[in-house]
Amino acid sequence: MKSIFAAVAVAGLMFAGNAMATDMPADGKAKCAACHKVDTKLVGPAWKDVAAKYKGQKDAEATLIANITKGGKFGWNMGQMTPRGLGANDEQIKGLAKFILSL
Ligand code: HEC
């Protein structure tokens, strides 16, 4: 457990220090990239737009974790998201929610 959290934290720092070319974490590439990109919309919204939508909201991380886990519609009018994307587990979803909100 601890090492996973440490890895997420380190990844977060790396992304924070590399604003020019923000790359999706490996979990995102494996479980989400079929429908999402960081900068532009694809099947689903750009993750940067999601970060903007939740900017300044206290419960943003919990909301994102819940939404990614259950899937469905979140008001983007782009259709339905499959629950957990392509099979992400709880740990991966948590890490990705943090990543999205860091954008
Ligand atoms: C099969 C395509 C598909 C996959 C795979 C997918 N998504 Fe989505 N996602 C969507 C669509 C479509 C929407 C927009 C739904 C709507 O119109 O409201 C969306 C919306 C979202 C949102 C916005 C939630 C909100 O509250 O506004 C987030 C965050 C998100 N996806 C994260 C992820 C993550 C993380 C993964 C990988 C674990 C993932 N998605 C995998 C299709 C997908």
Domain range annotation of the chain:
2-101
Report the phi/psi class of residue 73: left, alpha or beta, with left for phi > 0 and alpha for psi in -120 to 50.
beta
pLDDT at 22: 83
CATH classification number, 2-101, choose in 3.30.67.10, 1.10.760.10, 2.60.40.420, 1.10.3470.10: 1.10.760.10
Ligand 1 pocket test, pick from 81, 92, 100 with the greatest ligand atom count within 8 Å of Cβ, gives: 81
Structure tokens at 22: 């923000």
Amino acid found at 90:
D
User: For the segment 29-70, what is each residue's pLDDT rounded down to a tens digit?
Assistant: 999 999 999 999 999 999 999 999 999 999 999 999 999 999
Ligand 1 pocket test, pick from 31, 35, 54, 99 with the greatest ligand atom count within 8 Å of Cβ, gives: 35
Predicted confidence band of residue 6 (pLDDT cuts 50, 70, 90): low
Nearest Cα to Cα of residue 91 among 59, 63, 68: 68
pLDDT at 84 over 70: yes
Q: What is the mean pLDDT of the chain?
A: 89
